[in-house]
Amino acid sequence: MSGKTKNAKTASKHRSNRAWIERHINDPYVQAATRHGYRSRAAYKLIEIDRRDRLVRPGAVVIDLGAAPGSWTQVVVERLGGVRDGALAGRLIALDLLPMDSIAGVEFIQGDFRDSEVVERLVQSLQGQRADLILSDMAPNLSGIGAADAARSAHLWELALEFALQHLKPDGRLLTKAFQGSGYSQYVEQLKRHFSRVLVRKPAASRQESAEIYLLACARKISRAGEHPAA
């Protein structure tokens, strides 16, 4: 590789980095998150969906998958009424592969949701309870290889659905992040087989150029025998 070509690529990368930093600094959601003390701008995605669909209510049992750095967790704590006398009015269990600074009233599990032992720890934490709401903002580390990244994303969506079918109350709801593209329409059909309503949400804080979308599945379908439809 010639020095000229290498220098051109380096300059282009620097310009790209500067553009990202400028957009980040000037982002109104980043600025609002800083003022309010949220850990990331992603808080406003959940805030908008919650205002529209009334997801979180005091006394609810909530599971937050892919929680780090914790902005969605912060929003749920607020919606549950905050910590009073050292406890939440409800339960909130957060899980992520990455570490997360503690939040009062929140039970945190660090581990990979793709690992059955980690899932078992989450099940044990529920202590026989079922969830009113399962949030999944999980996304894989992207490799840049489209087919591989789509497969990894779809695997996480399916794991969230599988867990929800086992541990969600009949009238509970699942809110999961997905990406429009390969595997998306098939996943929507999966949700429709198991839930009475599947709603699409694209909050304003989710950048328009992003393929990111949120799917809200409500009210699990029950067969006449009292069993849920097979996956």
SS3 208: coil
Q: Report the distance separating Cα 110 and Cα 38, nearest Å.
A: 20
SS3 127: coil
CA atoms within 13 A of residue 56's CA, in its CB half-sphere: 29
Do you know the residue count of the chain? 231
Q: Pick the closest to residue 75 from 189, 205, 192 (CA basis).
A: 205
Element (H, E) at 9: helix 3-26
Q: Report the distance separating Cα 140 and Cα 165, nearest Å.
A: 22
Catalytic residue set: 177
